[in-house]
A and B are shown apart, each in its own frame.
Chain A
Amino acid sequence: MAPLFAQTFGNASSIHFEGQQARALLDDAHRKVALMIGARAEEIIFTSGGTEADNLAVFGAVNASGHLITTSVEHPAVLQAAGMLPSVTVVPVNGNGVVDSDDIRRAIRPSTQLISVMHVNNELGVVQPVEEIAKIARQAGVLFHCDGVQAVGKLPVKMAAVGADLYTLSAHKIYGPKGIGALYVRKGTQLRPLVYGGPHERKMRAGTENVPGAVGFAHAADWVMEHSAGEMTRQQALRVRLEEKVRAEVSGAHINGCGARRVANTSNIRFDGIDSEPLLISLDLQGFAVSSGSACSSGATEPSHVLLAIGLTREQARSSIRISLGRRNDEEQVDALAGAIVKSVARLRKLAPAYA
């Protein structure tokens, strides 16, 4: 990536040779990202990230008279965009955070233009039945958008199997650079652009292409294709180890969403009688970067909308932390984290004796 900021500086849309070199890298990036999800190069529209891709899907597929169906646990990039539309049905989820595809089917109206359901929930890691929803959408003649930001690299994701018409990707979730993502647009899908200007990205996303970002994204995609299956087996074992240790040594610890199929790296744990805010700070000061809710809502007063949607009380939602394991974590770190959680929770319960 780094040389591209200075050496291969050409504009990928220019005619000259410098530009052609950049174009070659950009074309290659389209191919690699497409290959990762079993798509064609021309089906990949690079965007500034997952949020823009979600917005492009929602505003590109639903017009002023159209109806959108989505779920209560979507990322704000979908839910906030949906809030701008005149007609939206937000389908609830069960206690594990999973939507019932029959509920989606029942929400379809003649005016429904798009169903948008995430592949994997960012806070809980639970997997949605998107293949079934894709079938329901196809039968009804409605477009299906799937936010796959948290799925790619953690599940085997192939467009033929998922069956979505639109699929959101983000580079930084697979260790690529921040500031680039993509929307997969199935060939033949009618979509209006969100950003107007030049004819970049097959006229779907105007603006000089982010070549360094795209090259970084492609590099990250290469790694996913080569290593992710083995890596996920490894992380799954680490997560099981972490959750078993925490549950064995901390009373009143619950895994949110544990009754559903989950991706390997995400663990959302609730501790009875604990405020997650001091727990997070305490863990951070000990070198463990964990979060509550999503990174986007940190510092907010409102508890996580996802945790409320699975039926937790506000207090329970505020007692939950989210741990995401990664490629650089090993058994020793996981054991140290479990130990730090055990100690910190015990200390907090001693300070706030409300918990008996």
Chain B
Amino acid sequence: MLNQKTTAVAMSGGVDSSVVAGMLHRAGERVVGMTMQLWNQRRLPELVPENPTGRCCSLDDVYDARHVAQLLGIPYYVVNFEDRFEEQVVKPFVREYMAGRTPIPCTLCNNFIKFDQFLEMAEGAGASDIATGHYAQITRNDQTGRWEMRRSVDRAKDQTYFLFGLTQEQLARTRFPLGGMEKSQVRELARELGIPTAAKPDSQEICFVPNGDYAGFIDSYAREQGLAPQDLSGEIVTSNGKAMGEHAGVHHFTVGQRRGLGVAAGEPLYVISTEPETRRVVIGRDKELRRSSMMVSGVNWISIGAPTEPVRAQVKIRNKHAAAPATLIPKAADPSRIEVRFDEPQRAVTPGQGAVFYAEELVLGGGWIESTPE
């Protein structure tokens, strides 16, 4: 049975991954469904609201994924990565937030779980490649010999911002069958394939944080872990050091945030930066939020090799950001770090977030925003 090429589909129970399993199966491929158990929702019960949204790994999701696998008649397994997910995604998420940065756990999960642990599990089980419901396109460039990544046809669903860490080896064994489709086509195909979750809403926010309450999650997790209740409260100050008020913890704030500052002023004020060492939150006017350059570290190059000369690109600094024209300036000593100089200063360049470099549709690569020098 294993002689035929087998593809393991990461099935979340949602529409997208169900359609992936369905379309590959319909095309006559040998498909195995697998659901990753990543987080136990019952661990922090005080966080579970009455009408939760964006919950990962609930029994309902496993039930939905299994139901789809049964309808298709494909083998299906739940694989458990809870330990790894906590170490590689949840703990860094909590640590980064407490250190005053704004992390993106979805990228960590892609780098360390989905395209690492899951790929390894799939290969161990005898599959030659994996397929997921991500919206992105992978193609091989025969001239350069590299695997390239492009934004999805449905621009509103494009997930390349979270996929900048994929290595050439991972791309070679990964398929994104939805990258060339519009979401409306996917839903239509779901109905056509008889997938019962066709009308299920898209997942939102960070999967293990109920209702997007990051600070609440971090507080509960720290309590559960018996971490000494760290006092992260401090002063709210202006950029020239004038005290404006007090706050309950730096982890409640993210760069660019306007709401919840509790400070009255004649004009809108925003978080300019958070300083975990002094526990100060610096606020200021919109103008002060803008940065014309940033250092990016941990860079992974996808569609091109590490450049040695400056490269023109469009750079995205958060998922909803319209990529801004910039020049990438390599640091000769270290190809994993690069300086980005924007043509126009950008608002709320946030350390800890990803920076992804595009040449129109092509994803050149990406890394983590390290600092934003003045």
Contacts and interface: CB of A to CB of B under 8 A. Distances in A.
Interface in A315-356: 344, 347-348, 351-352
Contact of B80 (A277, A279, A282, A286): A277
B124 A285 contact: no
Given A286-B2, A286-B126, A301-B82, 14 more contacts: A277-B80, A281-B125, A281-B126, A284-B77, A285-B75, A285-B125, A286-B1, A287-B1, A299-B80, A301-B40, A301-B80, A347-B124, A348-B124, A351-B124
B199 interface: no
B197 interface: no
Contacts of A351: 120, 123-124
Contact of A301 (B77, B83, B125): B83
Interface string B77-105: 11110110000000000000000000000
Nearest to B80: A301
Interface string B30-51: 0010000100100000000000
A209 interface: no
B6 interface: yes
B181 interface: no
A275 interface: yes
A278 B125 contact: yes
Contacts of A296: none
Contact of A281 (B37, B77, B82): B77
Nearest to B119: A351
Interface string A270-291: 0000010111011011110000
17 contacts: A275-B124, A277-B79, A277-B80, A278-B124, A281-B77, A281-B79, A282-B126, A284-B75, A285-B125, A286-B1, A286-B2, A299-B37, A299-B78, A299-B80, A301-B40, A344-B126, A348-B124
B290 to A, nearest CB: 46
A278 B124 CA distance: 5
A346 B1 CA distance: 18
B336 to A, nearest CB: 24
Nearest to B30: A285
B24 interface: no
Contacts of B80: 277, 299-301
Interface of A: 275, 277-279, 281-282, 284-287, 299-301, 344, 347-348, 351-352
Interface in B1-48: 1-2, 6, 32, 37, 40
B261 interface: no
B106 interface: no
Cβ-closest 4 pairs across A and B: A278-B124, A281-B125, A282-B126, A278-B125
Contact of A285 (B6, B37, B82, B121): B6
B48 to A, nearest CB: 19
B2 A285 contact: yes
Contacts of A299: 37, 78, 80
Interface residues of B, number: 19
Contacts of A286: 1-2, 126
A279 B124 CA distance: 7
Contacts of A352: 120, 124
Nearest to B62: A299
A286 B4 CA distance: 11
A282 B82 contact: no
B124 A282 contact: yes
A112 B21 CA distance: 56
Interface in B110-146: 120-121, 123-126
A250 to B, nearest CB: 16
A344 B79 CA distance: 18
A267 to B, nearest CB: 21
B190 to A, nearest CB: 26
A279 B123 CA distance: 10
B206 to A, nearest CB: 21
Contacts of A285: 1-2, 6, 32, 75, 125-126
Contacts of B126: 281-282, 285-286, 344, 347
A344 B2 CA distance: 11
A343 to B, nearest CB: 9
Contacts of B121: 277-278, 281
Nearest to A279: B124
Contacts of B82: 301
A344 B124 CA distance: 8
Nearest to A299: B78
Interface string B187-212: 00000000000000000000000000
A281 B33 CA distance: 11
B120 A282 contact: no
Most buried by A among B2, B40, B124: B124
Contacts of A344: 126
A139 to B, nearest CB: 45
Contacts of B6: 285
Contacts of A277: 79-80, 121, 124
A335 B82 CA distance: 35
A287 B1 CA distance: 8
